[in-house]
Every structure is written in C-alpha cells, then in structure tokens.
Amino acid sequence: MTVKPTLWSRMETASRRMTPIGLTVLASLLTVVPAHVPGLQPVVPILPIIMVFHWSLYRPDLMPAAAVFVVGMLYDALIGAPIGLHAVVFVAVHAVVDTQRRFFVNKPFGIIWLGFAVVSAGGLGGSWLLVCIWNEQFVSPNALMFQYLVTLGCFAFVFRLLFGWQRLVLRQT
C-alpha cells in the first residue's frame, strides 16, 4: 500500500525544487543592490553565472534551460544590458556544462574551478563580442576582464555555499 503525499508535503517538495532558480534570481538582484562604495559597481561579480554553472552541473533537473533563459533576461533588465545578451550567455554556459557534466562529476574542486574559469571566460568573451557588435564599435574589455577576475575569485565561496545548500535543503528532492 502506497501512502499518498499530503498537500503540505507536495508544497514543501515543490518549494525545495524551486530554490536553485530562486537563489539564482536572488543573486541577480544582489548584483544591482547599491553598495555605496565609489567605483565598485563596474566590478561586482557576476553571481548568476556562478549559480548557472553550479546548478547546471549538480542539479540540472532543477535548473532547466528555459529557467536559465528567463534569469538571463531578468539580469539584463536589472543591469541595463541589451535584453537577451546574458540570456544567450547563460544558456550557452548551461549547454556547455550539460555536455561536459560526465567529465566534471566527482572531480576535485580545482578541476571544477578551472572548468568554470574556461566556460565563464568563453561566455563573457562572447558577451563582450556581442556588445561590440550591438554598439557597432570596439568596447574596451578592461572592466569586463576585472569583473571576470572578481567573479573567478568569488567562485570558491559561492560554490561552498551552494554545495552546502544542496546537501541541507535539496537532499530530500
């Protein structure tokens, strides 16, 4: 005899399963919160790309490409980028991680960090190229390079937080 789950248990499971998308949206919002530190805004880490990489690697069932696209559109609207720019970048990151998941699983953290460095460099390089095309002129990549390095530096901390969240909150889903 199987026990039918209650409405409350189904709602709890659904809310747990939505947390990767919710946390990625929250990360997008955190990147635009004014820090009141002069000159900081251009070098804020691109937290959503870390989130997309992590969830696409470890819980792709909870981070589908459609959700990644929507998060990218939201991120573009929040930061004032051409709408669709980061949606394309985030979906590309998701697709690359999806094709390379078998390689990354059960690898040491250093390999995963290196993988993130390569994948995010490709994604951000692509976004820079698209911005140059959009503006019909060469745009200096200096700010983006520094933002990439800051994002790369934040990866370990954010990765640990997400891994902990995955073990504590998503263990039952």
The CA-atom distances, in angstroms, between 92 and each of 13, 29, 56, 88, 89 are 29, 21, 11, 6, 5
> 77-96, pLDDT tens digit by residue?
999 889 999 999 999 999 99
Mean pLDDT of the chain: 88
User: How high is the pLDDT of residue 43?
Assistant: 72
pLDDT at 168: 81
Q: If we measure between CA atoms, which residue out of 153, 158, 95, 93 comes closest to residue 124?
A: 93
Residues 6+ apart with CB under 8 A from 53: 93, 97, 116, 119, 120
Tokens found for residue 66? 């459609």
In this prediction, residues 145-160 reach a mean pLDDT of 94
Is the pLDDT at 70 greater than 60? The verdict is: yes
Q: Which residue has the tokens 């979906």?
A: 91
pTM here?
0.88
* pLDDT exceeds cutoff 80 at 173: no
Where does the pLDDT of residue 12 fall: very low under 50, low under 70, confident under 90, or very high at 90 and above? confident
pLDDT beyond 90 at 15: no
Per-residue pLDDT band at 100 (split at 50, 70, 90): very high
Whether 8 shows a pLDDT value over 90: the answer reads no
Residue 38 has pLDDT above 80, yes or no: no
DSSP 58: H
